[in-house]
Amino acid sequence: MERIDVSILGRDYSLACMPAEKDALLAAVRHVDQRMLGVKGSGKVASNERIAVMAAIQIAIELLAMRAPDGPLSNLALGDFKRKIDDMNDMLDQVVGPATQIKS
């Protein structure tokens, strides 16, 4: 695990993550900080706790909007689609086998 020091809404936090996850974590921190600064900048919310809750709701709305549209797969997020496609490709590779793969 790697320790990373970040700042969100002017407050310092120390987080731990695997080295391979560092870039994603830093991107998430930037996103949260931007959302919280946006809520704070609106001037309608005063306390940091309420700012955090409003930012969390906005981020949750973004996440839920990324779900599949209505239909048989409507309960899957985009990451789940990728995993399902990868799983299907693996199954096809097992069934089809290397003998039928196109040689270049």
Do 44 and 83 fall into the same domain?
no
What pTM, to 2 d.p., does this model score?
Answer: 0.64
Q: Which domain holds residue 14?
A: 1-65
Question: Are 35 and 59 within 8 A, CB to CB?
Answer: yes
Q: What is the mean pLDDT of the chain?
A: 82
Beta strands in 1-104 (DSSP E): 2-8, 11-17
User: In whole angstroms, what is the distance from residue 97 CA to residue 88 CA?
Assistant: 14
Q: Is the pLDDT of residue 88 over 80?
A: no
Do 14 and 55 fall into the same domain?
yes
pLDDT number for residue 104: 47
Do 73 and 30 fall into the same domain?
no
Question: Are 36 and 8 within 8 A, CB to CB?
Answer: yes
pLDDT number for residue 60: 87
On whether residue 31 sits in a domain, the answer given is yes
User: In whole angstroms, what is the distance from residue 35 CA to residue 91 CA?
Assistant: 41
Residue 98 pLDDT class (50, 70, 90 cuts): low
Q: What is the pLDDT of residues 46-81, one digit of tens each?
A: 899 999 999 999 998 888 776 656 666 666 666 676
Do 76 and 38 fall into the same domain?
no
